Amino acid sequence: MKGNPTAMNIIFLLLFFSLLIAAAFLAAFVWSANSGQFEDVQGPAMRMLREERKKQTTNS
């Protein structure tokens, strides 16, 4: 029996847009992973322990 068009068919459109948004987030995730955000998960924790020395010269 062939399907009759129903109001439920709006799902096609909804699904499309929702996947579009999801894809955008995925792209953002992939970009961040590629640019090294997840590369060093231990470093930042250790960097916290660095003491701020009084700046002696204009260097850095």
Partner 1 sequence: MDSNAQHYDSSCSFCEQPIDGSAVVIRRERLFCCAGCATAHDMLSGDSGYGPAPELLSKYEHLVVATAAEGFQRYSSTAALWEVSLPAIHCTSCLILLERMPEWLDEVTDVRVSFSAKRASVHFNPELVSISVVAAWLDFVGYPPSLITAKKQHSSEVMKLGIAGFAMGNAMMSAFPEYFGLDAQGHSELLILFRYSTAFFATVSLIIAGRFYLESAWKAIRGRTWSLDIPIAIGMTALWGWSSMLLVQGTSGGYFDSLSGLIFFLLLGKFLQRRTYAAFSFERTVNDFLPLSVFCVNRGQFVRLGDLQEGDTIELAKGGIVPAEVHALSEVEIDYSFITGESQPVSVKTGNTLLVGGKILSEGLRATVAKKAQSTSVEQLWKDDAPDTGWVSPKMTAWFTLTVIALAIVGGLVWWDINPTRAIEISVSVLIIACPCALSLAAPFAYGTAAGVLSKYGVFLKSGRGVEELSKTKHIAWDKTGTLTGQNIAGDLELHRREWSGELASIVARSAHPIAAGIRRALDAEILPEAITQWREVNGEGIHARDIHGRTWFVGSGAGCGRPAGPTYAVCDGTLAALYRPSAAYRTELTLVFRELEDLGITHHLISGDIPRELPQEWHASFADRIHFERSPGQKAQLITPLENCLFIGDGLNDIDAMKSAAIGLAVVEGKLGYFPKSDGILFADQLHQFAHVLRYSKRMVATVKAAYILSLVYNLTGVVLALLGHLSPVIAAVLMPLSSISVVLFVVLFAWGFAPKD
User: What does the binding site for partner 1 look like in residue numbers (CB under 8 A)?
Assistant: 1-4, 6, 8-9, 11-12, 15, 19, 22, 26, 29-30, 33-34, 36, 38-43, 46-47, 49-50, 53, 56, 59-60
CB of residue 1 to partner 1, shortest distance in Å: 7
- Nearest to partner 1 of 8, 17 (CB atom): 8
| Amino acid (1-letter code) at residue 44 | P
The span from the first CA to the last CA of the chain, in angstroms, equals: 75
User: Which is nearest to 23 in space by CA: 13, 15, 33, 34?
Assistant: 15
Residue type, 6: T
